[in-house]
Amino acid sequence: MSKELFPVIFVGHGSPMNAIEQNAFSDKWAEIGHQLPTPDAILCISAHWETEGTHVTISKRPRTIHDFGGFPKELFDVVYPAPGNPALANEIIELIKNKAVIPDLEWGLDHGSWSILKNMYPEANIPVLQLSMDYSLSPNAHFELAKELVRLREKKVLILCSGNIIHNLRILDWDKYNEPEYGFDWAIEVNNHLKELIDTNQIEALCNYKKLGKEVQLAIPTPEHYVPMLYALALKKETDTLTYFNDKLIMGALSMTSFIIK
């Protein structure tokens, strides 16, 4: 009998302010935290940790990283004191055969991780690790590396992939910050098209997104917020169901669209 696989989540994390604001997005993260079985550990792949080579945090007490500017002091005061799990980090180093994984004592938890986890698991009592994304890898190479993490789903590890499938900060309409579900027409079309590719398991097209047209390139000007989604899809098995949540665009060109695989 095969072991039951733990869920995988891709979260559109949006603004760091979601960590301290009560809104539809943070409320949904809290709801999911209550609904899921309690994991033994959490592995985060965040858009905000890109490195030369692939790194994994190995600290017993990962620090809370405030990797942003221009936000209120209340946000900088947030500390998410979850423990690390050096033993699991070493397991991950052994698990990934695709390439050498580097143990990292310097990084901690960036806002792509803690802004979500603060809502999902406010007691911060579950060990959390982060796996970096090697900026030299192609989307296809990221997808292949991510496949090797599937064994963690058998070990009650929640794999949380954090980014945004549409993320163009340069053209956001900040005047629409408090207007729910505001997306530029082209962004709505791209969001729907990418979901169609996800639903029909067109991984090659998703990895080669730069060939999908100028609107997709406008939606994904840089890869770091898009690639975490590929990590989540790489961990999906044929028997899994993918369910969307927070499926909205905000400020024109930021997609909060998220999904859970289980």
Q: Give the per-residue pLDDT at 1.
A: 33
Does the pLDDT of residue 180 top 80, yes or no? no
Mean pLDDT score of the chain, rounded to an integer? 96
pLDDT tens-digit readout, 87-128? 999 999 999 998 899 999 999 999 999 999 999 999 999 999
Domain map of the chain by residue range? Answer: 8-261
Distance CA 1, CA 186 (A): 47
Give 160's strand partners. 9, 44
Residue-wise DSSP of 39-64: PSEEEEEETT-EESSEEEE--SSPPB
Residue 181: pLDDT band by 50, 70, 90 thresholds? confident
Which amino acid is residue 229, in one-letter code? M
Read off the pLDDT band of 164 (50, 70, 90). very high
Across 252-261, b (16+ Cβ under 10 Å) vs e yields bbbbbbbbbb
Cα distances (Å, whole numbers) of residue 5 to 39, 94, 139, 237, 240: 11, 20, 25, 9, 9
CA dist., res. 229 & res. 238, Å (int) = 17
CA separation for the pair 115, 68 (Å, rounded) = 12
Choose the weakest-confidence range: 77-86, 100-109, 137-146, 174-183: 174-183
Please state the pTM of the whole predicted model.
0.97
Q: What mean pLDDT do residues 235-250 have?
A: 97
Domain 8-261 has CATH 3.40.830.10: yes
Sign of CA dihedral 88, 86, 115, 39: positive
Contacts of 106 (CB under 8 A, 6+ apart): none
Q: How far apart are CA 259 and CA 227, in angstroms?
A: 14
> Which tens digit of pLDDT belongs to each residue from 206-234?
999 999 999 999 999 999 999 999 999 99
Spatial distance between the Cα atoms of 254 and 178, rounded to a whole number of angstroms: 13
Residue 74 clears pLDDT 80, i.e. is over it: yes
Residue 195 has pLDDT above 70, yes or no: yes
Q: Residue 15: name the closest of 132, 120, 169, 159 by CA.
A: 169
